[in-house]
Amino acid sequence: MASRDALAATILRHGGLLAYGQARMRQVSSLPHADADTTPRTLFEKIMARHLIRTEETDGTARAGAGAFVRADWRFIHEYYTGMCTHMLTQVVGHPAPLHEPDSIVAFEDHLSYVHRSPVHLAQGLVGSVRGLSDAHRAFVADYGIRSHGVLPTGEGSEGISHAVMAESYALPGQVVAGTDSHTPHSGAVGCVAFGVGTTDMANAMLTGAVRLTVPESLRVDLRGRIPAGVTAKDLVLHLLALPRIRAGAGVGKVFEFTGEAIAQLSTDERATLTNMTAELGGFTGLVAPDAETVRFLQERRGVSAQIEDWMHSDPGAHYAEHIEMDCAGMGPMVAAPGDPGNGLPLADLAQRARVDIAYGGSCTAGKREDFDDYFEVLSWADAQGLKVPEQVKLYLQFGTVAVRDYCEAQGYLPVFERVGAEMLQPSCGACANCGPGSSTDASQVTVSAINRNFPGRSGPGQVWLASPPTVAASAILGELGSFAELQARVAASHQVIA
C-alpha cells in the first residue's frame, strides 16, 4: 500500500489531482512493455502493463493495491458531468483548456433526452433546472469540437446510451476505456478494461490522457455447463448477485473475469450484460477474454477485421483473489425482489406472483440487439395467439442505441411490438435513471424491469422487480410475474379447457 499512500500524499501536497497533473504529467506516455516476463498473469494485468505510466510516485508496476496511472485509449463523458468537468478545467488552466488528444474523447447526451416526459421531474418542476446540464454539455462540445452523440433531431431520445455505443462503435480488445458512468464496464465484453471514474479524474484525464486508479485484485467466475433454453445472461448475473459470498462483499473493488465453457455460448451482447452489471456486483470492472465471437461481433457491427493477439488471455496459474464456479445447466429464469439487485431467487420458487402495472424493457443492460430478439420472440408468439398487453399494464420498450432501433426496423419487429400494445421509445437511459417514461408515479405501483438495479426510488416510488428481457415481455402479457415458458403453458392449458 506504500506506493498508493505516497501518490495520494503527493497529490494532496500539490493541492489536488488537477494541480498534480499539471505539475507532473504534462507529457505522458506508456512504459515500454517487455514480453519476456514469464510470470503467470491475468488478462487484466497484461492490459494494465501495456498502459501503465511511470511517475515519480509510482513504480510502474500493476501490483494489486498500488497507486497507478494508465493511458486511456478512450475517455467519454455524459451530460450529468460535463458542466462540472468544464468548470474544473477552466479553474485550473483557463479557457480553452489544452485537451490531450481530443480525438479520443467522446461526449454523450444520453441521460436527459426524455426529461420532458419524466414523471418525477415534471411533478417537482425540475425540467428547466436539469436543462442547464444539457446546455453546459452542448457548450463544451461546441467549444472543443469533441466527437458527440447527442439528442435526435426530433428532440426526443438520443443517438445512444454512452457505454452501449462505446461497445458498439469504439472499444477494441486490449484497450483501456474510462467513462463517467458506473456501467462503463459494459465494454469489457469485447476484451478491454473499461471502468468508471469521477469528475475530477475525468478532468485530469482530459488534460493528460492518464487515468488514476488503485490497482485492484481479480476475481474469476467460471460459468460451467450448458445454458438451458430460456435462460439469459441477466438470469446468470442475478444468480451471481444472490450468492452469499457476493452479498458478503467478496467482489467489492475487484476485476470480475468471466470464463468457462458457458461463455462460448453467449453472444457479445449477452456478455455485455455480465460486464455491465459488474457495477451491481460491487466490482471495479468486468472482463471477458476476446475470442472468435469477439471477432464476429466487430466484423458484423463495425466492419472491423480484428485479430486476437497471442497475449490476450489469462495465463494458467495466474493469481485470483477469489474463484467462483457456477453450474449454469440447472438454472432457470431469475428475478430480484424490490429493494436490491442481490435479492435474487428462481422465478419457479416464487409461489406468490406479484401483479404488474408497468413492464419496462430497455436501458444499457437490456436495450441491445439480442435483448430485442428476446422481446420479439415472446411478443410475436403472443401476437400469433391473439394476445395483447392487458389494459391495466403499460409495456415500454426502449432502444439502447439508434443502431439497435434500425436493426429492429430492418427485422420487421416494430409492427408486432405495436400490435401487442408496447409503447416504443427512442434511445435514452430513460426510466432506468428515473428520467423518462416507464418510471412509476405512485408507491402502490409494481414494475417488472430489465434494468440493472432496483434500489428504492431508482425508477420511481413504486416497487421494481428485476428480470430478464423474455421474463419482462411474458410478464407484460400475463399481467403478473411469469416466464415465457409459463405464459406458453398457461395458454396451452386454456386451449385444452376450451377443447
Note whether residue 26 is domain-resident.
Answer: no
pLDDT digits (tens, 9 = 90+) for 291-327: 999 999 999 999 999 889 999 999 999 999 999 999 9
Mean pLDDT, to the nearest integer, of 138-159? 95
* Percent with pLDDT over 70 in the chain: 96
Cell of 361: 424493457
CATH of the domain at 429: 3.30.499.10
Higher-confidence residue: 155 or 317?
Answer: 317
The stretch 13-23 carries a mean pLDDT of 89
Percent residues over pLDDT 90 in the chain: 82
Q: Classify residue 339: in a domain, yes or no.
A: yes
Tens-digit pLDDT profile for residues 449-475: 999 999 999 999 999 999 999 999 999
Q: Report yes or no on 469 lying in a domain.
A: yes
R_g (Cα) of the chain, nearest Å: 23
Q: Write out pLDDT tens, residues 339-364.
A: 999 999 999 999 999 999 999 999 99
Q: Which domain holds residue 479?
A: 334-498
CA distance 169 to 140: 22
Cell 411533478, residue located: 123
Mean pLDDT value across residues 14-32 = 79
Burial readout 426-460 (b: 16 or more C-beta within 10 A, e: otherwise): bbbbbbbbbbbbbbbeeeebbbbbbbbbbeeebbb
More confident: 127 or 175: 175
**Cell triple for 257:** 473475469
Evaluate whether residue 121 is within a structural domain: no
> What's the pLDDT score for residue 117?
84
Task: Give every strand in the sheet of 285-287, ordered side by side.
Answer: 285-287, 255-259, 218-224, 322-327
Query: Given pLDDT bands bounded at 50, 70 and 90, which one contains residue 2?
Result: very low
Contact yes or no for 190/290 (Cβ under 8 A): yes
Supply the pLDDT for residue 33: 60
How does pLDDT run across 236-245, given as a tens digit for each residue?
Answer: 999 999 999 9
- Please tell me the pTM assigned to this model: 0.95
In a domain, 441, yes or no: yes
Is the pLDDT at 1 greater than 60, yes or no?
Answer: no
407-428: per-residue pLDDT in tens? 999 999 999 999 999 999 999 9
Instruction: Indicate whether 472 belongs to any domain.
Output: yes
**Alpha-carbon distance 416 to 109, whole Å?**
30
Tell me the CA distances in angstroms from 175 to 55, 100, 172, 422, 464, one per residue in order. Answer: 21, 17, 6, 38, 35
Q: DSSP characters for 429-492?
A: SGGGGT-SBTB-SSTT-EEEE-SS---TBBTBSSEEEEE-HHHHHHHHHHTBS--HHHHHHHHH
Per-residue model confidence as pLDDT tens digits over 256-271: 999 999 999 999 999 9
Number of structural domains, the chain?
1
What is the pLDDT, as a whole number, of residue 24? 83
Cβ proximity of 88 and 18 under 8 Å: yes
Residue 260 within a domain: no
CB-facing half-sphere around the CA of 294: CA atoms within 13 A? 25
Q: What is the mean pLDDT of residues 211-221?
A: 95
Rounded mean pLDDT of the chain? 93
- Is 96 domain-assigned? no
- Looking at residue 81, its amino acid is Y
Residue 246 CB: number of other CB atoms within 10 A? Answer: 24
Q: Per residue in 55-102, pLDDT tens?
A: 877 767 778 888 899 999 999 999 999 999 999 999 999 999 999 999
Question: What is the full DSSP assignment across 156-178?
Answer: SSBSB-HHHHHHHHT--TT-EEE
